[in-house]
Every structure is written in C-alpha cells, then in structure tokens.
Amino acid sequence: MPTFWAIYLAIALLLYVLLDGFDLGVGILFGAAPNETAKRNMLTSVSPVWDGNETWLVISATILWGAFPVVYSTLLSAFYLPMLVMLAALILRGVAFEFRYKSTRLRWVWDCGFIGGSYVASFVQGTAVGAMVQELAIKNGQYVGGSFGWVSGFALLCGVGLCLGYALLGAGWLTYKTADDVRDFAYLIIPRLLICVLIFLAAIFAYSLHLRLSVLQRWLDRPGLVVFPLIGFAAAIGVWLSTKHRQDGIPFMMTAIIFIAAFLTLAMSFLPYMVPFTITIADAAAPHSSLAFMFWGAGVFILPMTVIYTTIVYRVFKCKSDPAARYH
C-alpha cells in the first residue's frame, strides 16, 4: 500500500507540473503579448482547462494528508509561509482571469494580477523544490528551520529556473493551440527561453557541486540515473529542431519530455526517501487500515475518474483556439 500511494502521488504531482505548468507559463508570457487580440487568444487557449489543471494540486495535497501525514505535516511546517503566498497568487490569478473579460478601464490591473500570480506561484514551487534538494533542517522527525529556513541562494535560483521552464512549456503550448501572431510570437521566443533554461540548468548543477549536496552522491551511487538527463538533452534538441521547422505542437511535447526527465531524475535520486534524506516512504506511511480505506474510494474511483475527465476535456478542446471567440 505505501508503494502504491507513493506512485499515485508521483503521477499526480507530475500531471500537475505538466498541466498547470503550461498555463502558468502562458501567464508568465502574457505581458509580452504583442496586442490585445493576442492576449485574448492566449487566454482562450487555456480557458477550457486551466482551472481543471489545478485539481491535480488538490489531489496531491490530499494524498499527502491521507497517506503520508508525516510528510504533510513536515512540509507544511517548513513551507507554511510560501504555500500561503502561492495559494494567494493562484487565487489572484484565477480572479484576474475572470475579471479582465468584464473590465475595460481597469483591465491593466487584472493583467498585472494574472501575470504576477503566475510568476509568484511558479517561483514558490521552484524554490520549494530547491529547498528540498538542498535538504530541510529536520531533527528527531520535526522541522526546526524556522519560517525562513527554506530560503537560500540555491533555492531561489531553482525558483527562477522553474519560471523559465514553465514559460518554455507555455510557449510550446501556444504553438499547438494558437495561430497567426501568437504562434509567431511563440516561435520567436522559444529558442531564447531554451537557451536560458539550459544555462540555468548548468548553473544549478555547478552550484550543487559547490555546495556538495548529498543528492550528488546518490547520482554517483546510481550511475544509471544519467539516462534521464540524456533523454532531457535529446528532447531539448527536439525543441530546437521543431521550432526551426515550425512544427506546431512538437515543441510542447519535447518540453514536456524535458520536465518528465527532470522529475524522474529527482524522484529516483530521492528514493526511498520522500523528504530527502530523513523520512522514507515506509516511515511516512499512514496505518494500513487508513491506506486501504483510501484505496477503495480515492484509489479506485476518484483518481481514475479525474484522469478520464481530464482526457475527455483535452480531447474535446483539441483544436486551435479561435481569437474571435469570447471566454464565456
């Protein structure tokens, strides 16, 4: 049961990163849109799916709370302040998304809310991942680092890197779902974003060597992990080539593969730990009776139904967006 729920959690987190990642990326790029028509086209491209994408964040948190309460309490203690900031940013982003369609005189305010909320949510997520990689201050199973113990140069660098990664994912989505000026804008900016992402990955790796992070030893102990970075590098080449030949949608798929490769690299580096390198899956798991109870509800019905619903929605709205269409 613990392994089953750990896999479920990994899938939910990965789906959140991929799905909400591209619409956060669209929000990050929103301020650089060439005109109002382009902005409406960008919003129309994500309007059928953006709120459903955030469902996977709720599911991930629910699995942590029910199946791994020790990890839930530890991470909440460590990231209480940044999580509140992230949730506030996501709320602001959602409100701005709805209100800008109704507003005229103050539309710029809601545009700033949409852009700012996207940046802040992305930055907080990246910072949290960086803090976990660098390891949290945990003693006797409890977080002892204080309200700002997660702040470090490495974590902040990871936050900036994830903003760039989400922007690249969002630009790839725009090549798939939009046409004309927005698609041209996406093809123009993708090579620049790709170069920035690769530079930041190199900087993060160099910083890891400087800090002598424990995760580096895991990579030495498990040399097979090199296959995931190689897959990511091959996908980066695919992004470049597909952008050069203007193959709609392929840059999005290749960027998604980069994210999957990075996610699997971290996940396989951490195993069997859920909070590196202090709390294992077995230590964090709830009693078997609780895991079994969750299995017959969330495991058998809720999560599979969410996957089916998400698949249907993306299937129904698979065509390119119409820039003349209204949101509602």
Q: Is residue 325 part of a domain?
A: no
Minimum mean pLDDT range among 142-146, 190-194, 259-263, 299-303? 299-303
pLDDT over 90 at 85, yes or no: yes
How many contiguous H segments (helices) and E segments (strands) does the chain have?
A: 15, 4
In this structure, are residues 126 and 163 in contact, taking their beta carbons and an 8 Å threshold?
yes
Does a structural domain hold residue 156?
yes
**Length, in residues, of the chain:** 328
Residues linked to residue 142 through DSSP beta bridges, in sequence order: 139
What average pLDDT does the segment 254-274 reach?
Answer: 92
Instruction: List, for residues 12-36, the tens digit of each pLDDT value.
Output: 999 999 999 999 999 999 988 888 8
pLDDT band at residue 325 using 50, 70 and 90 as cut-offs: low
Query: Do the Cβ atoms of 16 and 285 come closer than 8 Å?
Result: no
What's the chain's average pLDDT? 89
> What are 265-287's pLDDT values in tens digits?
999 888 888 988 888 898 889 88
208 occurs within a structural domain: yes
Is position 231 within any domain?
A: yes
Distance of alpha carbon 141 from alpha carbon 69, whole angstroms: 12
In a domain, 321, yes or no: no
The number of folded domains in the chain is 1
Contact 93, 113 (CB under 8 A): yes
Range of the domain at 47: 2-316
Distance from C-alpha of 276 to C-alpha of 328, rounded to nearest angstrom: 45
Please compute the mean of the pLDDT values over residues 239-265 and round it to a whole number.
Answer: 94
pTM for the whole thing? 0.93
pLDDT tier for residue 235 given thresholds of 50, 70 and 90: very high
| Range of weakest confidence among 3-7, 54-58, 176-180, 251-255 | 176-180
Q: What percent of the chain has pLDDT over 70?
A: 98
Per-residue pLDDT band at 205 (split at 50, 70, 90): confident
What CATH number is associated with residue 33? 1.20.1630
**Interval 91-146: pLDDT, tens:** 999 899 888 888 778 888 999 999 999 999 999 999 999 999 988 888 877 888 88
Residue 328 within any structural domain of the chain: no
Q: What does the alpha-carbon distance between residue 299 and residue 171 come to, in Å, rounded to a whole number? A: 34
Among 259, 234, 29, 275, smallest CA distance to 126 is for 259
Residue 33, domain member (yes or no): yes
Q: Judge whether 322 lies within some domain.
A: no
Q: Encoding tokens for residue 66?
A: 């029910």
